[in-house]
Structure 1
Amino acid sequence: MNIRPELTNHQIGRSVPRLEGPEKVSGRASYVHNLKLPGMLYAKIFRSTVAHGRILSIDVSAARMMEGVEHVFTGEDVKTIVPNPYFGPAFHDQPVLAIDKVHFVGEPVAVVLARDPYVAAEAAQLITAEYEELPAVFDEVEAMHSKAVVHEELKPAGTFPDLKHLAGRKDTNIALDYHLRRGDPVAGFAQAVHVFEHEFRTQQVMHVPLEPMVTLAEPHHNTIIIHTASQSPSFVRIEIARLLGWPENRVQVKVPHLGGGFGAKLYIKLEALAACAALLAGAPVKVMLPMEEQFYTITKHASTFRIKSGVDHEGRLLARHCEVYWNGGAFADIGPRVTQKSGFTAPGPYDIDNVSIDSYALYTNRPPAGALRGFGIPQLVWAYESHTDIIAHELGIDPIEFRRRNILRDDRPQATGTPMTDAAVDAVLEKIAECMQWESGSRRKSDDPTKRFGRGMAIGFKASISPTTSVAVVNVAADGSVVLQLSTVDMGQGSDTAMAQIVAEILEVAAEDVRIVHPDTDVTPYDMATLGSRSTFHMGHAVRLAAEDAKRKLEELAHAMGFTDHAVWQPRDLFRRKYGMQAGNVIGVGTFIPEYRSPDPENGQSDKVTPFWMIGGTGVELEVDVETGHFRILRMINVADLGTPLNPRIVETQLSGASMMQLGFTMFEEMRLDAGQVTNASLADYKIPGIQDVPDAIENEIVAAHQSNGPFGAKGVGETATFGVSPAIANALFDAVGVRLTQLPLTPEAVFMAMRAKEGAASGV
């Protein structure tokens, strides 16, 4: 078969420019923020001012009387159309608007609708509420046994079968307790010559997509159309239909371009409120958050990680015990998945026969936490790679040599029992050593006595979330042009371009000629969500299967039309011969569900807990001012195993972007809370990396690898460069000035105080 005989170059491996690039740079790209509908009302939210309290009264009278206000709704109004107005992917614990009590400062309590957003915002400030304050808990470790209980009863959503056993559990803040056991940890520690034990903490941070969250709900006869900035349109459709008690075909979800997501726009966020408000008002309703209100909507888990390792006389790890406490805030969101799916990687990419893991998802009275680029892995790698360096230095072993002795190689099983197949941990480690000339002995030097140089590195890994489903449709028109329909959301990662390359490779067309239909649940088929670097692998396979299905149908049509196997033809020839004119279509459909076996509930063991592993590492060289504690990243090297890159240029930008995002979480970003109130909920006070913070040199390296079960040998890469940044910087700081920081962020103040404390200890002060 030869659809395009003039096309000779392969599409896989081409650095195809992003297909949506011209629209974006010209300002013609459509976003939900740009969308206006006739009769549209703007919604502004009145939020709780206490961290935990029973609602005694809500006075909306002044807001209702304000000129220009159309409606004011509370949770009681929502209950008139949705008797049980709670939602969430893991637990039905989040009300559309607060009912009976509030769980954190910033929880939505009431909503004002007006044709002018400024009128709605002013009216929302006129609402008052009285609360009976209840005891609150903010720390994840304290929440384990706190008398302050955030939710009276656990109500699993049913989405995840392994949470069903928690239904009805009461008087606990533990949303999920996950446990894994491998080998005999007690015996392993008994055999150890050295035992090391440390605690590491991470802070609560924000996703900060530059497009704030926004949803516009449009009632339309007996249906509702939801235009939303979402990473999971299929889930939004399912959940809104469930809330309203409607069949799915009455709910249409449309996602245009997305201005960043990073996990913030997963599952249900504003869609439930927008839909309920629109149905109550009988008019289109747009809910769009200013940047500061995103701090009250979804965040990244703060965490505490206690890690203990036993080592033999040769520097080999014999046993490891991990306790991880995840601060999920007031609503579980996807936290139980983080707790389990990331929790089982807590021992690191090391070959340890005896492992025990206890991972806990905790409710607290903080703003909710959920998925954020890395899905819990950066918090874990921060701890176990800092811990690894401490062990190496204490034993007098070079940090890279210590890792060489212990990393998983040659399909050896990870702690779950799943083999580390197609996981180039050793190649990533060696590439970092090579790029940094680690063993050459050459080090940066300075004539300035106030400056010290240091270098550090770290490696990490992640399991792809599973099981999940992806479906794709390839439509070949009568003139031979191709349309790809899929619900994967391109939020800047370049997935549309990569998927077009897969179609183009199979159908022998140019990737630039494949048109992508943006997610629209009435048109595009089901996809679980755009998260966890799953799209390249999962949707990539679905797209491949759909394109192969279309190709097979074209070949069958060619045979039926009398073309021989070796004849050169184009699709338009087939359609004209069959229909006598330019008419008809060929539709290819592909569905992909990876192989998966649920872990044993007793010990967490499974020989197929993930379809693929992501491997990444970072090397850092930095300069520290010993008088102030300020430090500067001179060089950052990101190394990744991503199988075969579908689009090398996009991969490079993914690695750079991920590492810079994690740099912000490492050095600057922190949500500061006072009795549950976020005190820096604006970009004036919450600092993300700027151009002056970019390292002098960023280098991205892809190791030679092939994902044997991936589409064209590929797998995801969007999170890989987040893994090692934090511990690599901490390890470099130790190398430079001899202080070990165990809590993020790594600020100049923290470095300065640690250096002064070290000097005081040395002098006996």
Structure 2
Amino acid sequence: MAAHGPQVGRRMERLESRAKVTGRADYTHNVVLPRMLHAKIARSTVAHARIRSIDVSEAAALPGVHSVVTAADVKRVIAKPFYGPAFHDQPILAIDKVRHVGEPVAVVLASDLHVAEAATHLIRIDYDVLPAVFDEVEAASSDVFVHDELKPAGTFPDLKHLQGRSGTNVALDFKVRRGDVDKAFAEAAHVFDDTFRTGQVMHVPLEPMVTVVDPGDEHIVIHTASQSPSFVRIEIARLLGWRENQVQVKTRLLGGGFGAKLYIKLEALATALALLARRPVRVALTMEEQFFTITKHGTTFRIQSAVNADGIITGRRCEVWWNGGAYADIGPRVTQKSGFTASGPYDIENVSIDSYQVYTNLPPAGAFRGFGITQVVWGYECQADIIARRLGLDPVEFRRRNLLREGRPHATGTPMHDAALHRVLELTAERMQWNQPFDHGTPERRRGRGIAIGFKALVAPTTSVATLSLQGDGSAILSMSTVDMGQGSDTAMAMVAAEVLGIRAERVRVVHPDTDSTPYDMATLGSRSTFHMAHAVRLAAEDVLAKLSAMATELGVPDRGAAGAGELLRRKYGMPAGNIVGTGSFVPPYVSPDHDTGQSPDITPNWMIGAAGVEVEVDTETGHIEIVRFENVVDCGTPINPKIVETQISSAAIQQLGMTLFEEMEFDELGQLRNASFAEYKIPGIHDIPERIGCAIADNVQRNGPFGAKGVGESGTFGVSPAIAAAIEDAVGVRLTALPLKPEAVYRAIAAARGDALADA
């Protein structure tokens, strides 16, 4: 036990909390460099077209403009200016062709931001418009091709299977096959066939994307609001043909990320501009521009289930089409990692899953909090309620009968261990008082309730490395490339280090990512940091203790751990000098899924579980929905810091609430986005959320996790959407199958159910 009491499990304030509330916290937006130029982007106004010509003469002649840059200029410093974590398919600036509205085509550089902005409107771009495709299902079989050729990046082990293709919009098709699905359906007492849809939405981090690049002599410094500084260094070095140690990436605190700031976003463009100008360049997006940069996948999910007379699911077919937009980004990983969970957390002997990443002429889609899980949970949990209702079963009881139990294999063949599915379900039902009598309200204000549960596999295989430097006074400096974007990772990792060293977490200083000094971390994504980086930090701290013990033995004195570091160092060096540096590296075990069946004995090191219980009140005359009760329960193993875990659960639930009820990127038939601003794109405000949001952590231990822990940043999103849809049906008897569940959609469904002709007006 730690000398100052256990650190893991403390309800501790965040290390950076005071700096944030006093305005002293350091963000990339604060970076100002001498002679810095501002960049503003001229973007495509059409969804799909060949570029006939770009006339920049008028823009370049505007007083105050330093230069105007097109793809031809970029090629002077980067010969092959294509990037991407899965495919090298995205040009730094459009080359020959544009593939979505809002794609960057040219850039103006100026010392004055407003001059640069004005000059973008003077750039004349002539297009030869091409047919475009926007729907993911149609695009999968269309002869309108977004890309002529696909070039796999080959960067990550789990994406090494990607192949170059031509003549298709399908970037990846991933499948799972288990048992005899045809036989299960032939013998079924009941067969269900439903299709569920979600649209594209945006991450809306309140700190928009920003990158500042300072060019030197064969060395550049990239200041960027990124969730993956290690990847930025690797990718920029590849693009330039430089050594990695010629590229330094520095990341400060982030004002939100949610997946939007992963891999390469602005860094390649800012680097090219800085090398061309030979001056520091700042590229900072407006909130509107973020809508054209990265989104969450829209999906179409067809799910068919064979069910026996006892209400047991015996077979399931799933087809999921992911709208990847114009560039793949990390969509193939989303397609695989979430695709293999499409059959749900249920014990089904016979499963067939097909998951397709499809190019369209919409803005690119990539990682988003939940990493595709919320889209598939939306489908399989909505159908769970449809099945239960048709069979006359209580929705909770139906799930009890079908949920996987400890040691049983998931559809991929990987046994589920330490996944508290049943505990999470029962705790949610208990908090909802599910077995108590329920008042459905009045004819004008109907009440209903719903429950849903989902799960997520931890992304694997990935690597995390940490270094820990113990100072002569027993304090410590932790260096890692995990990015704190509001989730409290700095605090959690300090607590892990302190737990091992036997000191208080406040005595650990966390160094923000700087690739010249902080070691490699794959990225801050997918709730992986608590599991991967905390293991690396634990190992680094244990390495420090081992070195202290060896030094104590060498000097012939008692080993007093971190508390005795000062005395040991004075004896060793004859003065208060030196420090002890420990390193830790962690990579979990992983077995790649079989190409033809998706089967793997070890497809993930752990499973995260989340459930939601919701009570709603529906105004039958307007379709307006009010959330009356909101309960969220997760299995995160042993919480490192329960206080932060609770805020993670509630914040995740609120974010998914927005995508359930309000958020939708509205495109017209030409691919033009109608609502790229907070004036028209609504996220939840204080009046949209219930007065109290219930949060609970199921009692569980992740036995292969650091101090029994696993990730939690996404678990609170899983069950929200289907639970609300179930509550609406319980209230007014209509089942909605597409998100968002806007009042108009609810009202139209109510009107249609009663045969009102106005339903289609």
**How would you bin the TM-score normalised by the shorter chain?**
over 0.9
Q: Indicate how the Cα distance of structure 1 residues 38 and 409 shifts in structure 2: closer, same or farther if over 3 A, else same.
A: same
Matches within 5 A, 1:390-429: 390-429=386-425
Q: Which residue of 2 aligns with 1:265?
A: 261
TM-score, scaled relative to structure 1: 0.98
- Comparing 461-470 with 671-680, greater Cα deviation is found at 671-680
Q: Which residue of 1 aligns with 2:570?
A: 576
Say which of 654, 665, 673 aligns to 2:667: 673
The reply on whether 1:516 has 2:510 as its aligned counterpart is yes
Say which of 746, 750, 755 aligns to 1:755: 750
SS of match in other structure, 2:119? helix
Q: Indicate how the Cα distance of structure 1 residues 630 and 569 shifts in structure 2: closer, same or farther if over 3 A, else same.
A: closer
The reply on whether 1:304 has 2:300 as its aligned counterpart is yes
Q: Indicate how the Cα distance of structure 1 residues 685 and 315 shifts in structure 2: closer, same or farther if over 3 A, else same.
A: same
Say which of 114, 118, 122 aligns to 2:114: 118
Superimposed CA distance per residue, residues 466-520 of structure 1 (whole angstroms, 9 cap, x where no aligned partner): 0000000000122222000000000000000000000000111110110000000
Whether the 8 Å CA contact 2:501–2:561 is kept in 1: the answer is no
Superimposed CA distance per residue, residues 169-217 of structure 1 (whole angstroms, 9 cap, x where no aligned partner): 1110000011110011011111111000000000100000000000000
Whether the 8 Å CA contact 2:158–2:460 is kept in 1: the answer is no
Say which of 194, 197, 207 aligns to 2:203: 207
Matches within 5 A, 1:570-649: 570-649=564-643
Whether the 8 Å CA contact 1:154–1:166 is kept in 2: the answer is no
SS of match in other structure, 1:666? helix
Matches within 5 A, 1:428-439: 428-439=424-435
Say which of 373, 378, 395 aligns to 1:377: 373
Aligned mates of 2:691, 2:100 — CA distance in 1:
41
Whether the 8 Å CA contact 2:608–2:715 is kept in 1: the answer is yes
Aligned mates of 1:402, 1:24 — CA distance in 2:
46
Regions of 4+ moved over 4 Å:
161-166, 565-569, 761-765
Q: Which amino acid aligns with 2:618?
A: V
Aligned mates of 1:569, 1:701 — CA distance in 2:
36
Aligned mates of 2:542, 2:161 — CA distance in 1:
41
Q: Which amino acid aligns with 2:533?
A: M
Say which of 523, 528, 532 aligns to 2:526: 532
Whether the 8 Å CA contact 2:424–2:635 is kept in 1: the answer is yes
Q: Which residue of 1 aligns with 2:457?
A: 463
SS of match in other structure, 2:29? helix
TM-superposed CA distance for 1:167, in Å, is 3.8
Q: Which amino acid aligns with 1:612?
A: N
Q: Which residue of 2 aligns with 1:330?
A: 326
Q: Which residue of 1 aligns with 2:35?
A: 39
Say which of 229, 241, 254 aligns to 2:225: 229
Whether the 8 Å CA contact 1:642–1:716 is kept in 2: the answer is yes
Superimposed CA distance per residue, residues 341-370 of structure 1 (whole angstroms, 9 cap, x where no aligned partner): 110000000000000000000000000000
- Comparing 187-196 with 323-332, greater Cα deviation is found at 187-196
Whether the 8 Å CA contact 2:45–2:101 is kept in 1: the answer is yes
- Comparing 565-574 with 405-414, greater Cα deviation is found at 565-574
TM-superposed CA distance for 1:8, in Å, is 3.2
SS of match in other structure, 1:638? strand
Aligned mates of 1:516, 1:160 — CA distance in 2:
27
Aligned mates of 2:190, 2:440 — CA distance in 1:
34
TM-superposed CA distance for 1:764, in Å, is 14
Aligned mates of 1:432, 1:47 — CA distance in 2:
47
Aligned mates of 1:8, 1:356 — CA distance in 2:
53
Whether the 8 Å CA contact 1:471–1:527 is kept in 2: the answer is yes
The reply on whether 1:138 has 2:134 as its aligned counterpart is yes
SS of match in other structure, 2:340? helix
TM-superposed CA distance for 1:160, in Å, is 3.5
Unaligned runs of 5+ in 2: none
Aligned mates of 1:137, 1:319 — CA distance in 2:
33
The reply on whether 1:737 has 2:732 as its aligned counterpart is yes
Aligned mates of 2:485, 2:302 — CA distance in 1:
35
Q: Which residue of 2 aligns with 1:506?
A: 500
TM-superposed CA distance for 1:410, in Å, is 2.0
Q: Which residue of 2 aligns with 1:153?
A: 149
SS of match in other structure, 2:220? strand
Whether the 8 Å CA contact 2:752–2:759 is kept in 1: the answer is no
Q: Which amino acid aligns with 1:676?
A: G
Q: Which residue of 2 aligns with 1:652?
A: 646
Superimposed CA distance per residue, residues 212-244 of structure 1 (whole angstroms, 9 cap, x where no aligned partner): 000000002210000000000000000000000
TM-score, scaled relative to structure 2: 0.98
Matches within 5 A, 1:63-74: 63-74=59-70
TM-superposed CA distance for 1:567, in Å, is 9.5
Cα RMSD after superposing both structures: 1.5
- Comparing 26-35 with 753-762, greater Cα deviation is found at 753-762
The reply on whether 1:704 has 2:704 as its aligned counterpart is no
Whether the 8 Å CA contact 2:609–2:715 is kept in 1: the answer is yes
The reply on whether 1:129 has 2:125 as its aligned counterpart is yes
Whether the 8 Å CA contact 1:629–1:752 is kept in 2: the answer is yes
TM-superposed CA distance for 1:560, in Å, is 1.6
Q: Which amino acid aligns with 1:588?
A: G
Q: Which residue of 2 aligns with 1:172?
A: 168
Aligned mates of 1:131, 1:623 — CA distance in 2:
51
Q: Indicate how the Cα distance of structure 1 residues 42 and 664 shifts in structure 2: closer, same or farther if over 3 A, else same.
A: same
Aligned mates of 1:314, 1:665 — CA distance in 2:
35
Q: Indicate how the Cα distance of structure 1 residues 496 and 756 shifts in structure 2: closer, same or farther if over 3 A, else same.
A: same
Q: Which residue of 2 aligns with 1:554?
A: 548
Q: Indicate how the Cα distance of structure 1 residues 568 and 404 shifts in structure 2: closer, same or farther if over 3 A, else same.
A: closer
TM-superposed CA distance for 1:697, in Å, is 2.2
SS of match in other structure, 2:747? helix
Aligned mates of 1:207, 1:638 — CA distance in 2:
21
Q: Indicate how the Cα distance of structure 1 residues 558 and 194 shifts in structure 2: closer, same or farther if over 3 A, else same.
A: same
Aligned mates of 1:128, 1:69 — CA distance in 2:
16
Aligned mates of 1:449, 1:307 — CA distance in 2:
33
Whether the 8 Å CA contact 1:16–1:647 is kept in 2: the answer is yes
Superimposed CA distance per residue, residues 521-557 of structure 1 (whole angstroms, 9 cap, x where no aligned partner): 0000000000000000000100000000011111111
Q: Indicate how the Cα distance of structure 1 residues 566 and 28 shifts in structure 2: closer, same or farther if over 3 A, else same.
A: closer
Aligned mates of 1:498, 1:283 — CA distance in 2:
38
Whether the 8 Å CA contact 2:503–2:562 is kept in 1: the answer is no
Q: Which amino acid aligns with 2:36?
A: M
SS of match in other structure, 1:337? helix
Q: Which amino acid aligns with 1:706?
A: V
TM-superposed CA distance for 1:407, in Å, is 0.4
Q: Which amino acid aligns with 2:27?
A: Y
Aligned mates of 2:501, 2:182 — CA distance in 1:
57
Q: Indicate how the Cα distance of structure 1 residues 277 and 614 shifts in structure 2: closer, same or farther if over 3 A, else same.
A: same
Aligned mates of 1:472, 1:234 — CA distance in 2:
13
Q: Which residue of 2 aligns with 1:720?
A: 715
Matches within 5 A, 1:278-293: 278-293=274-289
Identical-pair percentage: 65
Q: Indicate how the Cα distance of structure 1 residues 573 and 743 shifts in structure 2: closer, same or farther if over 3 A, else same.
A: same
Say which of 4, 8, 12 aligns to 2:8: 12
Whether the 8 Å CA contact 2:493–2:534 is kept in 1: the answer is yes
Unaligned runs of 5+ in 1: none
TM-superposed CA distance for 1:559, in Å, is 1.8
TM-superposed CA distance for 1:570, in Å, is 1.7
SS of match in other structure, 1:382? helix
Whether the 8 Å CA contact 2:288–2:676 is kept in 1: the answer is yes
Say which of 439, 443, 467 aligns to 2:438: 443
Whether the 8 Å CA contact 1:633–1:696 is kept in 2: the answer is no
